[in-house]
Amino acid sequence: ISDCGTHFCNDQFAKVMLKYGVTHRLATAYHPQTSGHVEVSNRGLKIILERTVGENRASWSDKLDDARWAFCTAFKTPIGFNPYKLVYEKACRLPIELEHKAYWALKHANFDLQTANDHRKV
């Protein structure tokens, strides 16, 4: 569902929708209740931004990427997944998990070098 914007109503967009088997529907102009799922998502993003930045809307654009990341990696009950898994078909790895994994690999690599060095001396 999208609004009646010209970027959604052209031949190129129609070809992409056809290629991926998506049925495109147009919402009634100036009637946001039509696209309820979008409104729910926007409300969720707004709540995240209000809690992290506060009421100072001038700095919302600075934190929008972080808010979108938090929203996309959070579990959604209606779809049974988080949106990230639904799009990429794999679990999302948080930066701290990747950092820990890299540290663990480096620690084992150093240990293996030390073991190899000890065996070389013998």
Q: Count up the domains in the chain and report the number.
A: 3
Task: Residue 11: give the domain boundaries.
Answer: 1-34
Are residue 19 and residue 48 in the same domain, yes or no?
no
Sign of CA dihedral 20, 92, 69, 103: negative
pLDDT at 53 over 70: yes
pTM of the model as a whole: 0.49
Is the same domain home to 55 and 67?
Answer: yes
Same domain as 53, residue 24 = no
pLDDT tens across 58-117, in order?
888 888 888 888 888 887 777 787 888 878 888 777 776 666 667 667 666 666 666 666
| 101 and 84 inside one domain | no
Q: Which of 46 and 101 is assigned the larger pLDDT?
A: 46
